[in-house]
Structure 1
């Protein structure tokens, strides 16, 4: 019963739209003699454009299903992979994979820089004339601060 109501309401809606269109056309035809020439020309061009759009929409609706299957879900847009779901999944996971690899490379470079800085400090300490225990002495640290 509900399907019948839905069908009848959609039929009623299209009938109402058709009657409204006819009434509007009749009213515009009555007023056509009173409108200035430039407005009537703009209305004529708009009417031609509306008719052209209606024709194309009807042609698209009547097009065979194979054409819409070839286009895929994107409609008129270009779709990479031809609508292949595995390609789409791979294409959506690729940026995430590149981000993770980039973060790993940044972490590795950061670790190398820290190791290089620690190695430079070790070389400076071991190559210096002072023993490493001198740097632990609080008095020596005060001595270095006062020299600066």
Structure 2
């Protein structure tokens, strides 16, 4: 015999209980008055001894004009649990802003180092003629040849 077959599910147990109560009620009508009185007293005693069921009630009440919510048995972490993700978000945004600022500072420092270590003096970059030279490139070979022939006293 399988042990799981002997156990009733809650609906079957309720149906069995109702059927048994109906049979007992029908059978109790034909009992003598003394037995009925003893059954009634036993029923009252059983009801008085029965332990009360524990019912879990969650209560959310606005406690005062400060607007804070409280509940009877909530732990500290349940009350402040929503704050932790907010703090992580704020620190994350601060970290990202700091990282971007450091990146900008490093880029500017690299540009300054390149300017200061270059062969061309920094004032040349401000000269408009130098900018034209950078845009057009060095003199063409034909221009270079004409300059060389002009310089040589042949």
Q: Give the TM-score taking structure 1 as reference length.
A: 0.45
